[in-house]
Amino acid sequence: MKKKIILPIAVFIAGLCSIVYELLISTTATYFLGDGVRQFSLIIGVYLFSMGIGAYLSKFIKDRSLLFFIIVEYILGFIGGISVPLLYFLFIQVDPLTLQILVLSTIFVIGLLTGMEVPLLTFSFNSVDFKNDLSNVLSLDYIGGLIATLIFPFLLLPFVGLFYSSVIFGMVNLILGIVLNLVYFKKEIKSLVLGSIALISLLCLVIYGGTLLHIWDQKIYKQPIVEMVQTPYQKIVLTKKQNDIRLYLNRVIQFSSADEHRYHESLVHIPFSLHPNPQRILILGGGENLASREALKNPSVLQIDVVDIDSTMFHLAKTNRFLKEINQDAASNPKVNLISQDAFTFLFANEDKYDVIISDLPDPTTEAIARLYSKQFFLMAKRNLTKKGVFVTQSGEIYFSNTVFSCIKNTLNEVFNDVKPYHTYIPSFGDWGFIVAKNSDFSPSDLHSLPTELTYLDNEQARQSFKLPKDITIAKTKINTLDHPVILDYFIEDWSKWKSDFLTNTK
């Protein structure tokens, strides 16, 4: 009777935990190594392959299947529990290639052990009705997997975080093994001690996790952290050193208060000066409201719609004292409407027209962001513009990431009648590029007068920004589309090349 109750529960928990480990490691690898499709594809492939090996090996230990299942739970619980903390530690200790190998090695071991679980549990039922037992075991295992895929994005990632989710589910595996050990093998003291030691180790990680994460964060950001929030979409971190406030999204810097005015003044006021009377403005991204701060300096502006997928960024823009000071309380201005929505979805559904559309989106480091630089995205932006409307997008570093910069311009050329690149040097980032587009011809000489209260930009500087350095050319690239997001490959190739050079030069 005990077996009929406990073993089905064990099957469900085993299926739940193993999928959670896979999702945790895939997400962590994407954060640290980028290219989500590549990471998930590699990890899922290695995971399934090693599960097959584990399932095959299980037939050699079927004589004491339940005891071996318990041992598997101990090993799997410990390795799965420390997997994310270990990857966090390795991220700041090893190079990306080594980290990739270790990620795949970790998921291989987890997959190998996971592959043993269902066969060992099936053998342990010891019933003549093997087919029925097998179907019951598999159904419960699959149900556990489904629950894992539902709780991961909606509960674990936003509210528990990767680090603690890994440790907690490792403890769940270990507790399952200990319970089965106590119920069926009370005399197997060695295995019970093994499970208990592993459980105590993970419990220590829970207790001291906050301290460990704080030390790790300080090694990553190198400046005191004043705000840190994990949302369903990203990890938001604000740091402060003296008067320099910096915003990081998933550990990638978004701005430094020391020089962000150069970026935002160039992003906003140059396209504004190409429109005779900009009244309705759309800002895609820019949830911290620094772009809307600049837009409000133009007296003709009547309405600014800011579309950002993460509502938490809007909340911080309104409530965090550092952000409020930098954005000059723009997020609370009555002219500013904050819309929590995906930029692609918004453009597709929107029927209103805007005089200026500003794309203040992150660099195309993932497939989800790469689509926001696609021909289809730009076509929707064009459809949302008035007849004299102006579109502008940030376009990355023009020297180290020239192929990405070129790809954005070449893609925009497929959509708009006239497209022109310009640039601004930003000490925190480098020589940063922007591309402005209209449905009619224009030239830098068409620029109107700029607001007088700007810190960096003036009329002459604005016109000179369209003159690219002699060593910067627009490379021939493929067009970035939804079906073929080449810009992601360009981004990885550009920065991998230069990162390799930097590492070589420092040796």
pLDDT in tens, 106-117: 999 999 999 999
From 217, 355, 360, 494, active-site residue? 360
Residue type, 223: Q
CB 140 within 8 A of CB 117: no
CB 81 within 8 A of CB 113: no
Report whether pLDDT(502) > 50: no
247 domain residue, yes or no? no
The whole-number pLDDT of residue 8 equals: 80
Say whether both 217 and 115 belong to one domain: yes
The whole-number pLDDT of residue 68 equals: 93
Residue ending a domain, choose from 161, 195, 221: 221
pLDDT digits (tens, 9 = 90+) for 483-493: 999 998 899 88
Classify the phi-psi angles of 285: left when phi > 0, otherwise alpha if psi is within -120 to 50, otherwise beta.
Answer: left
Residues 220, 223, 229, 235, CA torsion sign: negative
Assess whether 360 carries a catalytic annotation.
yes
CATH number at residue 332: 3.40.50.150
238 domain residue, yes or no? no
Say whether both 301 and 182 belong to one domain: no
Taking CA 351 as the corner, what is the angle to CA 279 and CA 384, rounded to the nearest 5 degrees? Answer: 60
From CA 445, how far away is CA 432, in angstroms rounded? 21
74 domain residue, yes or no? yes
pLDDT confidence band for 128 (50 / 70 / 90) = very low
Say whether both 197 and 265 belong to one domain: no
Tokens of 442: 């224009």
475 domain residue, yes or no? yes
Residue type, 339: I
83 domain residue, yes or no? yes
In the block, residue with structure tokens 């030390």: 215
The whole-number pLDDT of residue 133 equals: 61
375 domain residue, yes or no? yes
Mean pLDDT of 62-89: 93
403 domain residue, yes or no? yes
How many structural domains is the chain composed of? 2
Say whether both 272 and 417 belong to one domain: yes
Q: What is the DSSP string of 56-85?
A: HHGGGGGGGHHHHHHHHHHHHHHHHHHHHH
Q: In terms of Cα–Cα distance, which of 250, 326, 313, 253 is closest to 285?
A: 313
Say whether both 317 and 391 belong to one domain: yes
Say whether both 52 and 122 belong to one domain: yes
Say whether both 75 and 200 belong to one domain: yes
Q: In terms of Cα–Cα distance, which of 51, 272, 46, 23 is closest to 162?
A: 23
CATH number at residue 32: 1.20.1250
Residues 6 or more apart in contact with residue 221 via CB below 8 angstroms = 237, 239, 246, 248, 251
Say whether both 102 and 181 belong to one domain: yes
Say whether both 211 and 268 belong to one domain: no
End-to-end CA distance of the chain: 66
pLDDT digits (tens, 9 = 90+) for 389-416: 999 999 999 999 999 999 999 999 999 9
From CA 301, how far away is CA 299, in angstroms rounded? 6
Say whether both 216 and 285 belong to one domain: no
Report whether pLDDT(153) > 90: no
From CA 272, how far away is CA 265, in angstroms rounded? 10
Residue ending a domain, choose from 221, 248, 279: 221
Mean pLDDT of 233-247: 92
pLDDT confidence band for 126 (50 / 70 / 90) = low
CB atoms within 10 A of CB 288: 29
Tokens of 288: 């911290």
455 domain residue, yes or no? yes
Query: Measured between alpha carbons, how far is residue 311 from residues 287, 306, 338, 408 in Å?
Result: 8, 11, 9, 27
Say whether both 110 and 198 belong to one domain: yes
Question: Which domain, by its residues, includes 280?
Answer: 260-506
Distance of CA 138 to the CA centre of its chain: 33
Report whether pLDDT(206) > 50: yes
Say whether both 161 and 277 belong to one domain: no
Residue ending a domain, choose from 221, 247, 279: 221
Q: In terms of Cα–Cα distance, which of 133, 438, 388, 370 is closest to 279?
A: 388
Average pLDDT, the chain: 91
3-state secondary structure of 160: helix
